[in-house]
Amino acid sequence: MKIPRRLIVNPDDNVFFAVPAVAISTLMLGYSHNLGPASVLLFFALWLPLPLIGPARAGRAAGAALVVLALPLFACLSAVWSDAPAFTLRAAMQYFSLLLCTVIAAIYISVPSLIWGLLIGCHVINIWSLAFGHEVFDYFGNSYAFAGLFPSKNVFGFFTSIGILSSFSAIAMLNRRYVLRAAIGVASLQFFYALIISDSATSLISLVGAMLVLCTALILGRLPRTLRRVAIFAVVLALPLFAVLLLADFTDILNLTGRDTTLTGRTDLWAAGLSVFSGSPMIGVGYQAFWRPGVPLAEQLWHDFYITNPVGFHFHNTYVGILADLGLVGLVLFLLPVGGALFDSVREALHSGDNRIGAIRLAFMTLLLIRSMVEIDVFAAYTIGPFLIFYLSFFPWRRAIESRYALLAQYRAATGNFGWAPRN
């Protein structure tokens, strides 16, 4: 029996492939540290064959792919000036392979399929973690918190926040299916319980911000055009006031979440990262080249933060981490696709009519960007963070490339040159 290619490579028809593929990928990226190389090979097997099955879509998106892949390619290049070239090249190739699969997923998978796959994958991860997970001791908070099957409570909290946001996004995409909406809501109560026992302030704050953005965007999209413009103007005016109030009560907020003014030592890590950046401001010291045994400052930070297993420790700030590893060039290569995606999702979310996909994209971007201030989810290989943010970052660039193809096809048709036309 021959399966039509469109059921695998057409985003409008491949839901029965796309949703399980995203769910399995979520599980693999969540537990890659437990499942080992086999999980990574399965991840590759899901995505790498797709350009061979549907080469036309991949060919049209090649230009947009280069915008996203510029960062990991520069990370690979950083092996040239790294003090540990073999270590840097290996880590950078892992990062590149993840983002290559992410770009392929963005070419062939729709946002609704992504949301349903995330929801299923996060449910499996959460149930598995609640059943067999463990607690970890927080030396700075002098308390225990539940981390599931992850090495950190913040990683466990990250997946619970993705699960909650995916649940609300799935409910928002459903039209008048009230029973299914209620079932999703009830099934997702486990995520709220998991978020509470994880005691992850980062996950809680980023989730609240993402949910506020999602609800606000959905409400604005339903308003009449004139009223919507007034509401958007009011929201824009309110943002600076909200920021001022937040900063004024910042200490109280930290106390409420059980954190101190150093954000449990993160500010010390940021200072260390910026000192590393100052030594090589343009190109950094090389991808992952700093956090290695034998680097005196890294050894001192591991000691100060009671880290007995240094694998995976970082500066707890995406931008500081990029500056230290890849300098200003790396930061620009990161901000170019991410900034474009943020602008595009805001534009789509504030569009009149059915703006649900834009609102969902903006909510997930908000979740990831808030976390980027205190975590480094999107700058490490084989984790869910890079997969999500660069999946979302690919859309505006692909749309721009495809628009150029369409204009060129129209020009060729108008001038009578039918020797070339993009394939659907």
Residue 147 lies in a domain: yes
Residue 139 lies in a domain: yes
Q: Are 292 and 241 in contact (CB under 8 A)?
A: no
Query: Mapping DSSP to helix (H, G, I), strand (E, B) and coil, where does residue 289 land?
Result: coil
Residue 176 lies in a domain: yes
Give the structural domain span for 175: 111-199
Q: How many CB atoms lie within 10 A of CB 383?
A: 21
Place of tokens 């956090």: 291
What b/e sequence results for 385-401 when a residue is b if at least 16 CB atoms lie within 10 Å of its CB, and e otherwise?
Answer: bbbbbbbbbbbbbbeeb
Q: Is residue 324 exposed (0-12), middle (13-18) or buried (19+ Cβ within 10 Å)?
A: buried
Q: Are 160 and 203 in contact (CB under 8 A)?
A: yes
Structure tokens at 111: 């946002």
Residue 357 lies in a domain: no
Residue 351 lies in a domain: no
Domain count, the chain: 1
Beta bridge partners of 136: 145
Residue in 246, 248, 122 with CA at minimum distance from that of residue 188:
122
CA atoms within 13 A on the CB side of 420: 8
pLDDT of residue 409: 58
Q: Are 151 and 312 in contact (CB under 8 A)?
A: yes
Residue 124 lies in a domain: yes
Mean pLDDT estimate for the chain: 85
Residue in 88, 152, 163, 96 with CA at minimum distance from that of residue 374:
152
The single-letter code of the amino acid at 360 is I
pLDDT of residue 421: 45
The single-letter code of the amino acid at 168 is F
Residue in 109, 182, 156, 112 with CA at minimum distance from that of residue 383:
156
pLDDT of residue 77: 97
Residue 409 lies in a domain: no
pTM exceeds 0.75, yes or no: yes
pLDDT of residue 423: 45
Q: How many CB atoms lie within 10 A of CB 151?
A: 16
pLDDT of residue 16: 93
Structure tokens at 364: 């997930």
Residue 291 lies in a domain: no
Which parts of the chain sit beneath pLDDT 50? Answer: 249-250, 418-424
pLDDT of residue 424: 40
